[in-house]
Amino acid sequence: MTITAAVSGASGYAGGEVLRLLARHPEVQIGAITAHSNAGQKLGSLQPHLHALAERELVDTTAENLAGHDVVFLALPHGSSGAIAAQLSPDTLVIDAGADHRLESAAAWEEFYGSDHAGTWPYGLPELPGARAALAGARRVAVPGCYPTSAQLALVPGFAAGVLQTDDVVIVAASGTSGAGKSLKPHLLGSEVMGGMSPYGVGGVHRHTPEIEQGLSRVAGSEVRVSFTPTLAPMARGILTTATAKAAPGLSPAQIRAAWEEAYADEPFVHLLPAGQWPATKSVIGSNHAHLQVAVDERVGRVIVVAAIDNLTKGTAGGAVQSMNIALGIEEMTGLTAEGIAP
Ligand SMILES: NC(=O)C1=CN([C@@H]2O[C@H](COP(=O)(O)OP(=O)(O)OC[C@H]3O[C@@H](n4cnc5c(N)ncnc54)[C@H](OP(=O)(O)O)[C@@H]3O)[C@@H](O)[C@H]2O)C=CC1
Ligand SMILES: CC(=O)N[C@@H](CCC(=O)OP(=O)(O)O)C(=O)O
């Protein structure tokens, strides 16, 4: 089967990563690649690592340019996807890397994003219970945010199995700077980021908070509230998430760990590391794999889960391509089998 795919936001980090993966996908032919202020440029002048596509010209992000493809990837600033998706055929598989279609609650969207809600699409985190069935045959997919990918992979097995309590969930995550996109932001200047770490979006205001709560509440069967604090780390890629919650009473560490062992035993991209080995962003950079470790602090009765992903791969473009494969009935790992890069 040959699938034609258009990629919007191709001059950005997320669009560039989608192209990096699609360039090696055996079933995909890359069609239109679009941009905004960089329309008219050659891709090679903006994404020099994408050699095979270097001579391709970026065109404007219009429904006309994106039409006529089997798949359209939207890697646009949030708020931009709804309008363009509405102009694309319902038969086209549209995969939105942005936030517009992730939340079910219009009220939560309005509170955290401050604009009108564009709607809710099937959620592209295949490892969640029931997600693969919802993605199979779907023609619209909302790719999770990068922090929500790591936080949900870390905590969902514990809530699904009932080994975590829902009332005291704390998540602290460190992200590489590519998570913020390519556009100029003063707090991301090299001199601000190099050689140190700093928090941002503190105090329950980061817009990934409702997305994480939505996913955890769904599997827990009751409302889960989280305290989420993101931090910026002096690295280009990677997220290291540390999530903790109170253990349900009366369980041994082995019984608790079994929830993650069972949930991820057959998952091709999520790996519970052997006990005592800790996830590191360096082990997953450039790959669609997530590394996890679970420990129980018996002194305070808390479960600690650490997860590492590449924000641009499993956290965005890899999750998008994985979801595309499922939606179109292609073997799920196709185009995503690359190992990580280390050291
Ligand atoms: N970076 C990450 O780790 C993650 C990103 N995402 C999401 O992916 C999307 C893209 O993010 P990212 O690649 O990081 O951002 P970048 O800033 O790196 O890229 C943004 C892209 O969108 C284009 N663009 C900017 N403004 C407009 C507009 N008004 N209309 C159409 N296109 C526009 C830009 O084109 P041009 O350069 O030509 O101006 C560029 O191609 C966002 O929604 C982001 O939240 C999701 C998960 C993780
Ligand atoms: C380091 C950094 O700034 N990261 C981004 C998250 C990127 C992401 O997942 O964005 P969307 O949900 O908008 O798709 C942030 O905190 O806003």
Residues 133 and 271 in one domain: no
Q: Which of 175, 184, 212 to mutate to test the pocket of ligand 2 (most atoms within 8 A of CB)?
A: 175
Atom of ligand 1 at shortest distance to CA of 9? 41
- State whether the beta carbon of 147 lies less than 6 angstroms from ligand 1: no
Residues contacting residue 279 through CB under 8 Å, at least 6 positions apart: 240, 273, 291, 292, 293, 306, 307, 308
Residues 258 and 322 in one domain: no
For the cut 80, the answer to whether the pLDDT of residue 162 exceeds it is yes
Condensed to tens digits (0 to 9), the pLDDT of residues 210-260 reads 999 999 999 999 999 999 999 999 999 999 999 999 999 999 999 999 999
Atom 14 in ligand 2: residue holding the nearest Cα: 98
For the domain that residue 42 is a member of, what is the CATH number? 3.40.50.720
Using a CB cutoff of 8 Å and minimum separation of 24, what contacts does 224-228 make?
224/159, 224/166, 224/169, 225/166, 225/167, 225/169, 226/151, 226/169, 226/170, 226/171, 227/169, 227/170, 227/171, 228/147, 228/151, 228/171, 228/172, 228/173, 228/204
Residues contacting residue 262 through CB under 8 Å, at least 6 positions apart: 157, 161
Cα–Cα distance between 285 and 199 in angstroms, integer? 22
- State whether the beta carbon of 98 lies less than 6 angstroms from ligand 1: yes
Residues 120 and 158 in one domain: no
Residues 217 and 243 in one domain: yes
Asked, for residue 342, whether it belongs to a domain, the answer is no
Residues 202 and 261 in one domain: yes
Confidence of residue 88 (pLDDT cuts 50, 70, 90): very high
Mean pLDDT, range 24-36, rounded to an integer: 98
Q: Which residues form the domain of 270?
A: 147-311
User: How remote is the C-alpha of 267 from its chain's centroid?
Assistant: 16
For the cut 80, the answer to whether the pLDDT of residue 1 exceeds it is no
- Residues with catalytic function: 146
Asked, for residue 339, whether it belongs to a domain, the answer is no
The answer to whether 220 and 214 are in contact (CB under 8 A) is: no
Residues 59 and 164 in one domain: no
Atom of ligand 2 at shortest distance to CA of 146? 9
Residues 110 and 57 in one domain: yes
Residues 62 and 116 in one domain: yes
For the cut 90, the answer to whether the pLDDT of residue 187 exceeds it is no
Asked, for residue 154, whether it belongs to a domain, the answer is yes
- State whether the beta carbon of 179 lies less than 6 angstroms from ligand 2: yes
Mean pLDDT, range 70-77, rounded to an integer: 97
**Packed helices 146-160 and 209-220: angle between N→C axes, nearest 10 degrees:** 20
- State whether the beta carbon of 238 lies less than 6 angstroms from ligand 2: no
Condensed to tens digits (0 to 9), the pLDDT of residues 272-300 reads 999 989 999 999 999 999 999 999 999 99
Confidence of residue 339 (pLDDT cuts 50, 70, 90): confident
Confidence of residue 31 (pLDDT cuts 50, 70, 90): very high
Q: Which of 78, 112, 147 to mutate to test the pocket of ligand 2 (most atoms within 8 A of CB)?
A: 147
For the domain that residue 197 is a member of, what is the CATH number? 3.30.360.10
Asked, for residue 343, whether it belongs to a domain, the answer is no
Asked, for residue 31, whether it belongs to a domain, the answer is yes
- State whether the beta carbon of 75 lies less than 6 angstroms from ligand 2: no
Residues 173 and 192 in one domain: yes
Q: Which ligand is nearest to the CA of 15?
A: 1
Residues 277 and 249 in one domain: yes
Report yes or no for ipTM above 0.90.
yes
Domain total of the chain:
2
Residues 17 and 159 in one domain: no
Helices (H), the chain: 13-22, 43-46, 63-66, 81-86, 106-113, 131-135, 146-160, 190-193, 209-220, 253-264, 318-328
Query: With a threshold of 0.80, does the pTM exceed it?
Result: yes
Average per-residue pLDDT in the chain? Answer: 96
Residues 224 and 255 in one domain: yes
